[in-house]
Amino acid sequence: MAGERVLIVDDDPFTLELLTESLSEQGFRTVAVQDGERALEVLRQGNFRVALIDLSLPGMGGMDLVREVNLTAPETTMVIMTGYPTQESAIQALRQGAYDYIVKPFKIHEVTATLEKALAQQTLKAEVGALRARVRELELELKRHQEGTAGGIAGQLAGGVAHEVNNPLQIILSRVQLLMMRHRDVPRLQDDLRLIESNVKRISRIIRSLLDFARYNSGEMEWSDIDVAHLARQTCTLIQHQLDKSGISLTLEAPADLPKVYGNAGEIEQVFLNLLLNAQHATTSGGRIEIRIRTVEKSVVVQVCDTGTGIPKEVLPKIFEPFFTTRSAEGGTGLGLSIIYGIIQKHRGKIEVESQVGVGTTFTIHFPISEREDEG
């Protein structure tokens, strides 16, 4: 702690001299002043990590000085000196922002010990401050990532364009159906019209999913009872095309009478999307991704299995950590699974992973069944 600048404020010249001398001997760099006004002036000019302040000062009292320093130079840690060790005044000084107090007459080693303690505490405070700032940064980063994967382009596109596309589609569909009715006796035309009809319906489904996706992620959807299978199916629609292109098959198994889960649809959809994207990244052409949904006791259990690369044993414990990624070269941020983990905790669920290198990976999620369903 040697070399630290200490401001000493005391109206008694004898105490000032004693402190200046002994603290300088210990290696502190001291500045001594006799009243509060001077103290504030000096503090304004230079950075002091610690100030030793006598409580009974002429003019501006010690207590006022403490209050003022706390406001104008909060980075300076204050230690109070008092000749009247009434608990009240000491407590008041601590309340005003002082760190500790020393009772006069004091032994110089007490002063040094208190100063050392104050400096150590200050260092700690600075470190905590830096850590807090870092946590805030990470939170922002997480938010950006969530918006990037969920709200971002897909959301904007869905909100604007999808709506416009859906209306003409409905017109086409109704005309096609009309034509089918009118020309029931022309089989060749019927085949063509049926093909048109099924494809228009397919486009319509994709548009619906996009619209829902945008709605969930605009925060419009809050917590409600959710059909997890329906949500999974919609997410599949969103990435089906990409999987087709990569030659990966995707199947979904779910019972018709699946109980509801109380949750936030947008967030649960993000869970599915991130898991499916991870599975896709790990799987090559000819591979399979399966989603299996079932009820086990009081939970809806969702499994996302892939026949991809698998995850090595030594890597497995790290995959839920924020920023852990083996795909940084391809632009992976390593946030996907940590976001999933957070969402599942919020839903009072749990997530487990099983994996074998060269065979594949299965993520298993347990969502508690909505209490309302439980009662009924």
Q: Which residues of this chain interact with ligand ATP, rule CB under 6 A?
A: 274, 278-279, 282, 306, 308-309, 311, 319, 324-327, 332-338, 361
Cα 215 to chain centroid, rounded: 22
Least distance in Å: CB of 277 to Mg ion? 6
Q: What angle do CA 148, 330, 264 make, to 5 degrees?
A: 30
Q: 311 touches which of Mg ion, ligand ATP, none (CB within 5 to 8 A by kind)? A: ligand ATP
How far apart are CB 149 and Mg ion at their closest, in Å? 8
> What is the β-pairing status of strands 50-54 and 5-9?
parallel
The one of ligand ATP, Mg ion, none whose footprint includes residue 282, by CB under 5 to 8 A per kind, is: ligand ATP
Minimum Å gap between C-beta 323 and ligand ATP is 8
Of 77 and 278, the one with the shorter C-beta distance to Mg ion is 278
If one asks whether residue 34 binds Mg ion (CB under 5 A), the answer comes out as: no
* Residue (81 or 335) nearer to Mg ion, CB: 335
Give 257's DSSP letter.
T
Neighbouring C-beta atoms of residue 112, cutoff 10 Å? 17
CB of residue 314 vs ligand ATP: minimum separation in angstroms?
12
Q: How far is the CB of 337 from ligand ATP (least distance, A)?
A: 3
CB under 5 to 8 A by kind: which of ligand ATP, Mg ion, none does 319 bind? ligand ATP
Structure tokens belonging to residue 92:
């008041």
Q: Which residue, 204 or 362, has its beta carbon nearer to Mg ion?
A: 362
Helices (H) and strands (E) in the chain, counts: 12, 12
Residue among 63, 48, 62 nearest 15 (CA): 62
Q: Which one of Mg ion, ligand ATP, none is in contact with 361 (Cβ closer than 5 to 8 A by kind)?
A: ligand ATP
- Angle, helices 228-246/265-282, rounded to nearest 10 degrees: 30
Beta-bridged to residue 103, according to DSSP, are 82
- The CA distance from 147 to 267, in Å, is 11
Shortest distance, position 278 Cβ to Mg ion, whole Å: 4
Q: How far apart are CA 138 and CA 306, in angstroms?
A: 30
Among 36, 336, 349, 360, binds Mg ion (CB under 5 A): 336
Query: In this chain, which residue has its C-beta nearest to Mg ion?
Result: 336
One residue of 278, 309, 355, 361 binding Mg ion per CB under 5 A:
278
CA 151 to chain centre: 16
What are 249's strand-pairing partners? 288
214/279 with CB nearer ligand ATP: 279
Residue 365 beta carbon to Mg ion: minimum distance, rounded to whole angstroms: 15
Strand partners, 367: 300
* Residues at the contact surface with Mg ion, assessed by CB under 5 A: 278, 336
